[in-house]
Structure 1
Amino acid sequence: MACTNCSSGTQDGAPKGCNNKGSCGTGSCNKLTVFDWLSNMSLPQGQESFDVVEVRFKNGRKDFYRNHEKMSLSIGDIVATESSPGHDVGIISLAGELVKVQMKKKKVALDAELLKIYRKATQKDIDIWSEARKREEPVRMRARELAIALNLEMKISDVEFQGDGSKATFYYTANDRVDFRQLIKDFAREFSIRVEMKQVGFRQEASRLGGIGSCGRELCCSTWLTDFRSVNTSAARYQQLSLNPQKLAGQCGKLKCCLNYELDTYLDALQSFPDLETKIKTEKGTAVCQKVDIFKELMWFSYENQPAHWYVLSVAQVKEMLEKNKKNKPVSAIEDFVNETAKEEPKNFQNAVGQDDLNRFDKPKKKNNRNKKRKPNPNNNNNNKKPSNQKNTNTNANKKQ
């Protein structure tokens, strides 16, 4: 999975920076990448390239930096950027005119004061950066032990070292506010480094760590999703999904972000439906709605005193019955309006892609004809055939008798 930029110049294809052989556990090669579709286009004469570039750090963390020195930078270059204190090391993820689009998307002014790029990273910078990356995993495990020893209700989810190894940022999640002043002192004494604590939400934690969702693909939050909108249970109700928290919750423990993807389409389709809480007055009693099929525009009703017996009606029929109720005219019975065409018909599956017949197990087996004569084996006939002289002697003996 390593990109060509970080694996170039190596014989075995291992990335230079993270040494994870393309697993992207710390190198974040494929997280929140942007395709530069203007890379093969040159600028008009007399126009200078945009002096701001986007730099990517660990686990998809990105920031904008200004190129004051007018260095020739391209996507994939490892650069040393300004930080407080010291400097940080990152990889350029986007350069050129598309940076303006990204800045506008993230609501950053084009003339804002940004940190600058010092230089292209030297081999010494890369060596220090790779050594700092190797320390992150043991430091994270030890940091969790120190937090548990202080009985703090927090979880250290990730640790990120600065490129020069002078500072470490500890990302944590917590339900309530945590007093970690003593924890910072323990971290500074244990690791002999400058410590910064940063709280992230549960969705941000899942986006940093990454993973595979129930759909079989990588998590949206760790690949392309940047804005985390709130997801309510009403989104599942509008889409007629069962309110099962085990199926609706993602790896972050919250409702899945994909519940909002098709919500607008369902809301537009439900505008032509009557209210789900509508009741139809009939001579046999009041009928209430039990189920809705948005795709087929069908609604199921049942009497209040007979909730087990459902009757399927089309949306047009329900509206017709409601119009009669508005005129204080009760409907005779909902059985008279049952949509006969809405009944489920047997599905006829077709062998479209060369699959076997679905009813192959229902076909009767062919009976074996046991009375069928077997074909003679020529080898057996030759072995069992008697010599011709013996046959003649037997016939002659029978004649004498």
Structure 2
Amino acid sequence: NDETVRQIYRIASSQDLEKYEKVMNRENSTLYRSKEIIQQMELKMKLTDVEYQADNSKATFYYSADERVDFRELIKVLASEFKIRVEMRQISLRQEAGRMGGIGSCGRELCCSTWLTDFKSVTTSAARYQNLSLNPAKLSGQCGRLKCCLNYELDTYMSALEDIPKVEKSLLTEKGEAYLQKTDIFGKIMWFGYAGESMWHPISAERVNEILELNKKDQKPENLQVDQDLEKIELVQAITNDLERLDRKYSTKSKNRKKSKNKRRNRPNRNIGNNKMKT
């Protein structure tokens, strides 16, 4: 995170590169041995990574801990074990995941291990504004905290939500009370359903504002006045989803049938042995 431009003295020679490779090869063995020492000393800390300087003069030990740890004796043991100056540096869980690396649920490398250096706090309100289900298993990253990517599109959602009316109660119509079921923030479409009905009715955000204004004046419209174009789009989406489910269902069935046929072909015929015994 240091933005200062450091001075370059010279180009690394072949001897410098050889020395650097030897130093890099020491890191894994030092990490495993240090973990054993920490376990023997019964210290409540988790050692994540060890980083040697290129000149092999100092090693930085990165660790995480829930409580404050007295590692003065540990530094002495590590210094005598590896014959090097030791620096202990505590890091957060996000930084720990960044140093260890990995693949996220999106299929790409972790942001914290590739390009992200500024770790901003992420709250559950970021998920609420984006209409995401508050499922800890899906919202948590490999560090155990909320995913950093929840903040990436938050400003866009916040600006789009300015055009979406806040529906704290049900909409009152002559047909009955209509309850909000879901919202398409960028499409500015809101789905409402009547009590006792399984079908949801899509209406625009402008129409919702109109009904809310009428309800404030103790007036009730005859119905929601559903936009026919929106209802057709919703019907097409529902049919498409049903067809996709059927395709997945029958594809898995056909795969299972092929597997069972292959098993029957590869299974030895028991009747052949019985016939030989009879003869």
Normalising to structure 2: TM-score of the pair? 0.74
Q: Percent identity?
A: 54
Which secondary structure does the structure 2 equivalent of 1:312 belong to?
strand
Match of 1:337 among 219, 225, 243: 225
The 1:124–1:296 alpha-carbon spacing in structure 2 relative to 1, beyond 3 Å, is closer
Q: Number of paired residues?
A: 239
Quote the offset at 1:325 in angstroms: 1.5
- 1:36-76, Cα deviation, whole Å (9 max, x unpaired): xxxxxxxxxxxxxxxxxxxxxxxxx8774543xxxxxxxxx
Q: Aligned residue for 2:166? A: 275
Deviation at 1:243, TM superposition (A): 1.7
One-letter amino acid of the counterpart of residue 341, structure 1: D
Assess if the C-alpha contact under 8 Å between 1:249 and 1:256 holds in 2. Answer: yes
Unaligned regions of 5+ residues in structure 2, if any?
241-246, 251-279
CA drift of 1:221 comes to: 2.1
How much does 1:329 deviate? 2.1
Match of residue 162 from structure 1: 53
Cα 1:153–1:63 change in 2 (3 A) is farther
- Aligned residues: CA RMSD: 2.8
Select 1:231's aligned residue among 104, 122, 126: 122
8 Å Cα contact 1:298/1:314 also seen in 2: yes
Alpha-carbon separation, structure 1, partners of 2:5 and 2:205: 57
Q: Residue 178 of structure 1: CA displacement?
A: 1.9
Q: What corresponds to 2:216 in structure 1? A: 326
Name the CA distance, whole Å, in 2 between partners of 1:306 and 1:152.
60
Distance in 2 between residues matched to 1:181 and 1:312, nearest whole Å: 65
Measure, in 2, the Cα distance between the counterparts of 1:222 and 1:294.
Answer: 32
1:277/1:288 contact within 8 Å kept: no
SS in 1 for 2:89: strand
Q: CA deviation at 1:306?
A: 4.7
Radius of gyration: which is bigger? 1
- CA pair 175-339 structure 1, distance change in 2 beyond 3 A: farther
**Larger proportion of strand:** 1
* Unaligned segments of structure 1, at least 5 residues: 1-60, 68-116, 350-357, 362-401
Cα deviation for residue 152 of structure 1 reads 2.2
The 2-side partners of 1:175 and 1:308 are apart by 49
Q: Provide the residue aligned with 1:153 in structure 2.
A: 44
Deviations 1:262-308, CA, capped at 9 Å, x for gaps = 211111111111114344234566544231112332222345x6586
- The CA deviation string for residues 228-270 of structure 1, in whole angstroms up to 9 with x for no partner, is 2122211112112222222222222222222222211111111
Change (3 A) 1:172 1:301: same
Q: 2:155 aligns with which of 264, 271, 279?
A: 264
Deviation at 1:196, TM superposition (A): 0.5
Which residue of structure 2 lines up, in the alignment, with residue 212 of structure 1?
A: 103
Equivalent residues in 2 for 1:2-401, closer than 5 Å: 64=4, 66-67=6-7, 117-282=8-173, 286-302=177-193, 306=196, 310-332=200-222, 334=223, 336-343=224-231, 344-346=234-236
Higher helix share: 2
Aligned residue identity for 1:345: L
Per-residue CA deviations over 1:70-98 (Å, capped at 9, x if unaligned) read: xxxxxxxxxxxxxxxxxxxxxxxxxxxxx
Quote the offset at 1:340 in angstroms.
Answer: 3.4
- Structure 1 CA distance for aligned equivalents of residues 214 and 9 of structure 2: 78
Per the alignment, in what secondary structure is the counterpart of residue 345 of structure 1? helix
**Counterpart amino acid of residue 342 in structure 1:** L
Q: 1:241 to 1:66 in 2, by over 3 A?
A: closer
Is contact 2:27–2:51 with CA below 8 Å preserved after alignment? yes
Q: Distance in 2 between matches of 1:248 and 1:329?
A: 42
For residues 125 and 199 of structure 1, the distance between their equivalents in structure 2, rounded to whole angstroms, comes to: 29
Alpha-carbon distance in 1 for matches of 2:128, 2:3: 38
Contact 2:163–2:188 (Cα < 8 Å) also in 1: no
Partner of 2:258: none
1:171 alignment partner, SS class: strand
Give secondary structure in 2 for the equivalent of 1:346: helix
Q: Distance in 1 between matches of 2:143 and 2:167?
A: 32
Give, in angstroms, the shift of residue 121 of structure 1. Answer: 3.2
Counterpart-to-counterpart distance in 1, 2:6 and 2:208: 63
**Is the contact between residue 277 and residue 289 of structure 1 (CA under 8 Å) also seen in structure 2?**
no
